[in-house]
Structure 1
Amino acid sequence: MPSKIDTVRGRDSLKPRHTAYWHRVRKGCYVGYRKVSATGAGAWLARFRDEEHGKQAVHSLGALDDTLPAARFDAACAAAEKWFAHRGAGASAKTVTVTDACDDYVKHLKATRRPDSADDAMARFKRWIYPDKKLAETDLMKLSSRALSAWRARLAETPVRRPSGATPKEPKPRSLSALNRDMSSLRAALNLARLHGHVATDQAWRVALRPARNADGRRDVYLDAAQRKALIAKAPADLAALLHALAVLPLRPGAVAALTAGAFDVRLGTLTIGKDKAGRDRKIALPEATASFFAEQAKGKQPDDPLVSRADGSAWNKDAWKKPLKQAAADAQLPAGTVAYALRHSAITDLIALHRLDTMTVAQLAGTSLLMIERNYGHLLREHAKTALGHLAL
């Protein structure tokens, strides 16, 4: 008599045992359910028999506990069908490893014209994946949550590398935000491998590589208007232009550095923000003074030239502005930890705290989520609320 694993009641009535209960989908293809205890969640499996070669393979589909119990059988069948198709297409002879998935992801980024992202991903893979042979050579079909959790733990305990010549030379503990950045490329590579049918489910990494929450924290270095002016005054002329742009717009430093002359519309006084973490283009209408500043920056430049450029006409990047900005901050006697991002933080703070701009508009200007604004700047909103309540006092 066939086992009733297609309903919740049927699975509940099964006796716990080590071997799986199987449901025949069609000839050579089965979906299974392993119930090892009376109360614990069971595990789903797929079984395929290659009639031509007489070989049988079993693949774990996981607990599927992110799906409602009544829908788990259908979810298991859907995941199993992807795996059946993968095996039946003759791909079983080729083992697709974690390294293969990473390589494919880098090729995908290059093919979709994201060379910077491809270079960043490859650099992370070379540091954290490829040298870890045990993980790198693992067949995706055999990749487990335990193995990825162990890799994550090792990565979290690995100090951040400091640039050569940097001080102090003591190892710097890896922050949660750094951990998230290093995990994100691997997670994206595995998701792409699943999309391509190399693995049937993301059960192995869905939880193991989940980003750490509240990793970014608040940016505590705030520069008031006088301090921002002092920083700009102490900086070299080309860096001063970059810092001016960061002081008058709540943008990420990388987004400003990536602006081209063609992004500024002199006639309309608008700026199109392209390359940014926000992931999509957006236009900002500029006030007259800010539009005049960008018009001066765009003068005599071709549309593809950097809008705010270095003295030699090349585009800015973090490595180029880091040292001169640090020197300018020291000369202006600004707080330790003053970095380019402090200008974005200061601009957002002023928009909320001084100019009382609503958080939705601030989020749109800054190219971030409302949740992120409220998480990092909610303390300013609480001060507004406190002041407003004071006006109600009798």
Structure 2
Amino acid sequence: MPDLSRITERDKLKARIGDEPHWQRLRQGCYVGFRPSKKGKRGTWFARVYNADTKRNSRKALGDYGKLEGHDVFKQAKADAELWADTVESGGERASDMVTVKDACEAYAKEKPCPIQDGILRRHVYSDPIAKVKLDKLRRHHLRSWRKRLEQAPALVTRNKKGAKLWKERAKSTVNRDMVPLRAALGQVLKPGAPNTDAAWQEALRPFKGADKRRELYLDKEERKRLIDAVRDDARPFVQGLCMLPLRPGALAELKARDFDKRTRTLTIGKDKNGNPRQITVPPVIADFFAAQVKDKLPATPIFARASGDVWNKDAWKYPIKEAVNGAGLPGAVSAYTLRHCVLTDLIRAGLPILTVAQLSGTSVAMIEKHYGHLVRDDAEEALASIAI
């Protein structure tokens, strides 16, 4: 059995009868093979694995690795053969119709639907050359090139069709968020490649460290009351709801009349970033507010709707909020997410356990600790100071 890792030994190999590859054992049941070219070309690599379910050997062509040279060719063929063997041995081969990166992303989007995620894939993956790259041929350099294009793509500040479109440089935190759907989709069908090799596709999608900074802008209750009073009539209930609950604006906008149960004072949040429906019980003062919003509405009607009857979205709510911010004399950076931050800050300051705050807001304990843990530490310091003798 030849040592295919040795270039000189590989170059001496001759074509075998029936074009059978020369095989090298990598581990029990797993082989990498090489078929020399009869026309003096590079030759073709193969993988072979014993399938315990069918009790037969399965074979797969890996290609000629035309862009690699020297010892990198064998390293890549070995990694691909072992990766494919792992897939077969675990009982799951990729679906035959899942060939390209776009196929993997569409399958992931179908399994875990999310409007924001779908928009990211449509803008940055499906219309990009990466979409047509075959999964079997996907390498770190493909994703590095895609990431560079993503980082250089300007971010759209406004989508106002009546005025000129404004653009800004894409922030590192935005790049981190825009890489998530592609990384998740590929992670469903590809195993991580060997570190520091071109097979390590996952290395190109590592997020920037320290890019997600916590929000510092805070409005006290009096300032939030001024904002509510200044906002136009059709947007006032929606803005007031943002000031009452630690929900993402999109989750609040998607609430339907059927999602609020007046008898039990429970609110069901069915559409949110994490995709998992959850229920929260609200106090009487908030329950009365929601009862007034759902009065005489059909179950499928949005609790908070624009004057046109349409559901609020980020391109609709930002204008009335911006107008109200200016009218109330508040900092210009105030946005819908600022209000969520304010509510979360108040809940932490009130001494609510971090786990409970995480459950109410639909985020992880780790994220709450990361962005609001300093508030807990400050309160602990004050509590310790109060008992000093």
Verify the 8 A CA contact 1:258 1:306 in the aligned structure 2.
Answer: yes
What are the residue-to-residue correspondences of 1:43-54 with 2, within 5 Å?
47-48=47-48
2:145 aligned with 1:150: yes
Match for residue 358 of structure 1 among 350, 353, 356: 353
Match for residue 99 of structure 2 among 96, 100, 104: 96
Following the alignment from structure 2 to structure 1, what is the Cα–Cα distance between the partners of residues 338 and 26? 61
What are the residue-to-residue correspondences of 1:220-369 with 2, within 5 Å?
220-353=216-349, 355-369=350-364
* Partner residue, 1:58: 62
* Partner residue, 1:22: 24
Verify the 8 A CA contact 1:161 1:171 in the aligned structure 2.
Answer: yes
In the alignment, residue 381 of structure 2 is paired with which amino acid? K
Q: Which runs of 5+ in 2 are unaligned?
A: 11-21, 35-44, 50-58, 64-75, 194-199
In the alignment, residue 191 of structure 2 is paired with which amino acid? T
Following the alignment from structure 2 to structure 1, what is the Cα–Cα distance between the partners of residues 92 and 316? 52
Tell me how large the CA RMSD over aligned residues is: 3.6
Verify the 8 A CA contact 2:224 2:243 in the aligned structure 1.
Answer: yes
The one-character-per-residue Cα deviations of 1:195-217 (angstroms, maximum 9, x if unpaired) are xxxxx634343332234444432
The one-character-per-residue Cα deviations of 1:108-139 (angstroms, maximum 9, x if unpaired) are 25xx7x4x53xx45543443234433x33322
Other structure's SS at 1:207 match:
helix
**Equivalences, count:** 338
For the structure 1 residues 82 and 32, does the alpha-carbon distance in structure 2 shift closer, same or farther, using more than 3 Å as the test?
farther
In the alignment, residue 374 of structure 1 is paired with which amino acid? E
2:376 aligned with 1:386: no
For the structure 1 residues 270 and 83, does the alpha-carbon distance in structure 2 shift closer, same or farther, using more than 3 Å as the test?
closer
* Partner residue, 2:128: 132
What are the residue-to-residue correspondences of 1:44-193 with 2, within 5 Å?
47-48=47-48, 57-58=61-62, 60=76, 77-79=85-87, 81=89, 96-106=99-109, 108=110, 114=113, 117=115, 120-133=116-129, 135-164=130-159, 171-192=167-188
* Partner residue, 1:12: none
Deviation at 1:284?
A: 1.3
Following the alignment from structure 2 to structure 1, what is the Cα–Cα distance between the partners of residues 341 and 119? 28
The one-character-per-residue Cα deviations of 1:248-302 (angstroms, maximum 9, x if unpaired) are 1111111110111111101111111111113212211111111000000010011
Other structure's SS at 1:360 match:
helix
For the structure 1 residues 58 and 278, does the alpha-carbon distance in structure 2 shift closer, same or farther, using more than 3 Å as the test?
closer
In the alignment, residue 23 of structure 1 is paired with which amino acid? R
For the structure 1 residues 56 and 103, does the alpha-carbon distance in structure 2 shift closer, same or farther, using more than 3 Å as the test?
closer
Following the alignment from structure 1 to structure 2, what is the Cα–Cα distance between the partners of residues 284 and 252? 14
The one-character-per-residue Cα deviations of 1:162-219 (angstroms, maximum 9, x if unpaired) are 3256999774221233112322222233345x2xxxxx63434333223444443211
Other structure's SS at 2:204 match:
coil
Verify the 8 A CA contact 1:262 1:304 in the aligned structure 2.
Answer: yes
For the structure 1 residues 273 and 104, does the alpha-carbon distance in structure 2 shift closer, same or farther, using more than 3 Å as the test?
closer
Verify the 8 A CA contact 2:158 2:165 in the aligned structure 1.
Answer: no
For the structure 1 residues 246 and 121, does the alpha-carbon distance in structure 2 shift closer, same or farther, using more than 3 Å as the test?
closer
Verify the 8 A CA contact 1:99 1:130 in the aligned structure 2.
Answer: yes
For the structure 1 residues 209 and 33, does the alpha-carbon distance in structure 2 shift closer, same or farther, using more than 3 Å as the test?
farther
For the structure 1 residues 215 and 258, does the alpha-carbon distance in structure 2 shift closer, same or farther, using more than 3 Å as the test?
farther
For the structure 1 residues 170 and 232, does the alpha-carbon distance in structure 2 shift closer, same or farther, using more than 3 Å as the test?
closer
Following the alignment from structure 1 to structure 2, what is the Cα–Cα distance between the partners of residues 240 and 84? 52
Task: Indicate the percent of aligned positions where both proteins have the same amino acid.
Answer: 41
* Partner residue, 1:8: none
Q: Which runs of 5+ in 1 are unaligned?
A: 4-14, 35-44, 50-54, 65-71, 195-199
Following the alignment from structure 1 to structure 2, what is the Cα–Cα distance between the partners of residues 342 and 168? 26
In the alignment, residue 246 of structure 1 is paired with which amino acid? L
Other structure's SS at 2:61 match:
strand
* Partner residue, 1:42: none
Following the alignment from structure 2 to structure 1, what is the Cα–Cα distance between the partners of residues 336 and 146? 32
For the structure 1 residues 320 and 62, does the alpha-carbon distance in structure 2 shift closer, same or farther, using more than 3 Å as the test?
farther
* Partner residue, 1:201: 191
Following the alignment from structure 1 to structure 2, what is the Cα–Cα distance between the partners of residues 128 and 217? 24
Following the alignment from structure 2 to structure 1, what is the Cα–Cα distance between the partners of residues 305 and 249? 13
TM-score by length of structure 1 reads: 0.74
For the structure 1 residues 303 and 205, does the alpha-carbon distance in structure 2 shift closer, same or farther, using more than 3 Å as the test?
farther
The range that moved more, 136-145 or 178-187, is 178-187
Following the alignment from structure 1 to structure 2, what is the Cα–Cα distance between the partners of residues 95 and 335? 49
